[in-house]
C-alpha cells in the first residue's frame, strides 16, 4: 500500500559497493549487494518521494519510478552525488564506498610474476562533503558498517562526518548485513539510539524511513 508521508521530498540514496580498478580486468571491491539501498529506494518511492538512486554495480533489477544513476568508482559516485545533492531534501548513503584506491591503474592486465605490492591512497569522503554542502532543510543520513564497538564508532562517525543520523550495521553478526535479505541496525542520532531488530531489508527500509520522517517533523512526535 502507498502512504504519502514523503510526498514533496526528493530522496537521494546511494547503494552497492564501489569498485577501484587495478588493471583492465581486476578491481578492489567489497561485499555490498545493494539490497539495503534498493529496498530504501523502493520504500521511499512507495511513500511518495521523488527518488534518485546512485548505484554502484549490483545484480539487482532497478526499482520502478526511480531515477537510476549507475556508477562504478568512488570518484564517479562522488560526482553523481555532488552533482545532484542540491535537488535533495534527504540524502541516505547506504553504499559501501571504497576507502582506498590503487595509486596507479595498470593499462594492461598485470602478469603474475612473484609477489605484488599494491600502493593505495585514500578516496574522498562523499558523506562528509555532502554534509559540508548541505542546505538547512536537508537531512543527511549515513550508514556505518562496524565490526567492533559499533555504537562508539558509529557516534564518532556521525559527529566527524556531520550527519544527522547513522544507521549502524554490526557486520560481525552472522546472517545479517552484507548480501543477506535480512538486517538489524541501530538508528543513531546525536542523542538517541533506536534498536531496529532483525527483519527483512524491505521491512527495515520502511522502519528507517519512519525514523527519518520523525527527524524531519519533530513537532509531530509528541
Ligand atoms: O548492500 P547490502 O548487501 O544490502 O549491505 C548493506 C550494507 C551493509 C553495505 C549497508 O547497510 C552499509 O552498512 N553501508 C555502509 C557501508 C560502509 O561503507 O560503511 P563505512 O563505515 O565504511 O562508511 C560510513 C559512511 O560513509 C557510509 O554512509 C558510506 O557511504 C560513507 N562513505 C564512506 C567512505 C567514503 N569514501 N565516502 C563515503 O561517503
Q: Does residue 96 line the site of ligand 1, with CB under 6 A?
A: yes
Predicted pLDDT of residue 222 = 47
Nearest CA to 3 out of 38, 33, 70, 48 is that of: 48
pLDDT in tens, 123-141: 999 999 999 999 989 999 9
CA distance 15 to 93: 7
Q: Catalytic residue at 149?
A: no
Q: Alpha helices, DSSP H only, in 6-143? A: 35-46, 74-82, 126-132
State the virtual CA torsion across 116, 74, 168, 38 in degrees, nearest 10: -120
Q: Where residue 218 falls among pLDDT bands split at 50, 70, 90?
A: low
Express each pLDDT in 140-164 by its tens digit: 999 998 888 888 999 999 999 999 9
- pLDDT at residue 219 above 80? no
Residues 18-29: what's their mean pLDDT?
97
**CA-proximal residue: ligand 1, atom 36 (nearest):** 125
Rounded Cα distance between 29 and 74, Å, is 11
User: Does the structure show a pLDDT above 80 at 109?
Assistant: yes
From CA 34, how far away is CA 14, in angstroms rounded? 9
Give the per-residue pLDDT at 3. 82
Q: For residue 60, is pLDDT > 90?
A: yes
The Cα 159–Cα 189 span in angstroms is 9
Q: If residue 91 lies in a helix (H) or strand (E), which one and from where to where?
A: strand 90-93
Task: Give yes or no for residue 108 having a pLDDT over 80.
Answer: yes
10-19, 20-29, 57-66, 175-184: segment of lowest average pLDDT: 175-184
Q: Which atom, in ligand 1's list, is nearest to the CA of 166? A: 28
At residue 189, the pLDDT reads: 95
Chain segment 71-101, per-residue pLDDT in tens: 999 999 999 999 999 999 999 999 999 999 9
| Cell 581486476 found at | 26
> Which helix (H) or strand (E) covers residue 14, if one does?
strand 10-15
Chain centroid to CA 208: 13
CA distance 18 to 77: 8
**pLDDT tens digits for 164-212?**
999 998 888 888 889 899 999 999 999 999 999 999 999 999 999 999 9
The domains found in the chain, sorted by start residue, are 10-98+119-220 (3.40.50.10300)
Which among 4, 30, 169, 183 is annotated as catalytic?
A: 30
The three cell numbers of residue 8 are: 514533496
Distance 144 CA to ligand 1 centre (A): 5
Q: How many CA atoms lie within 13 A of 162 on its CB side?
A: 13
Amino acid at each position: 500500500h502507498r502512504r504519502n508521508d514523503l510526498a514533496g521530498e526528493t530522496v537521494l540514496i546511494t547503494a552497492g559497493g564501489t569498485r577501484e580498478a587495478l588493471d583492465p580486468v581486476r578491481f578492489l571491491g567489497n561485499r555490498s549487494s545493494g539490497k539495503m539501498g534498493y529496498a530504501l529506494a523502493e520504500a521511499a518511492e512507495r511513500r511518495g518521494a521523488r527518488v534518485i538512486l546512485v548505484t554502484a554495480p549490483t545484480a539487482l533489477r532497478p526499482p520502478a519510478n526511480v531515477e537510476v544513476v549507475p556508477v562504478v568508482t568512488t570518484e564517479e559516485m562522488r560526482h553523481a552525488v555532488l552533482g545532484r545533492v542540491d535537488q535533495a531534501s534527504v540524502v541516505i548513503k547506504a553504499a559501501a564506498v571504497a576507502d582506498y584506491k590503487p595509486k596507479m591503474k595498470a593499462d594492461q592486465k598485470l602478469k603474475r610474476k612473484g609477489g605484488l605490492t599494491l600502493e593505495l591512497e585514500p578516496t574522498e569522503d562523499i558523506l562528509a562533503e555532502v554534509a559540508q554542502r548541505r542546505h538547512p532543510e536537508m537531512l543527511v543520513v549515513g550508514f556505518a558498517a562496524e565490526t567492533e564497538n559499533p555504537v562508539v564508532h558509529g557516534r564518532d562517525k556521525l559527529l566527524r562526518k556531520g550527519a544527522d543520523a547513522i544507521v549502524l550495521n554490526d557486520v560481525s553478526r552472522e546472517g545479517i548485513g552484507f548480501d543477506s535479505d535480512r538486517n538489524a541496525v541501530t538508528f543513531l542520532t546525536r542523542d538517541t539510539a533506536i534498536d531496529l531488530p532483525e527483519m527483512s531489508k524491505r521491512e527495515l527500509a520502511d522502519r528507517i524511513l519512519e525514523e527519518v520522517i520523525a527527524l524531519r517533523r519533530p513537532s509531530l512526535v509528541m
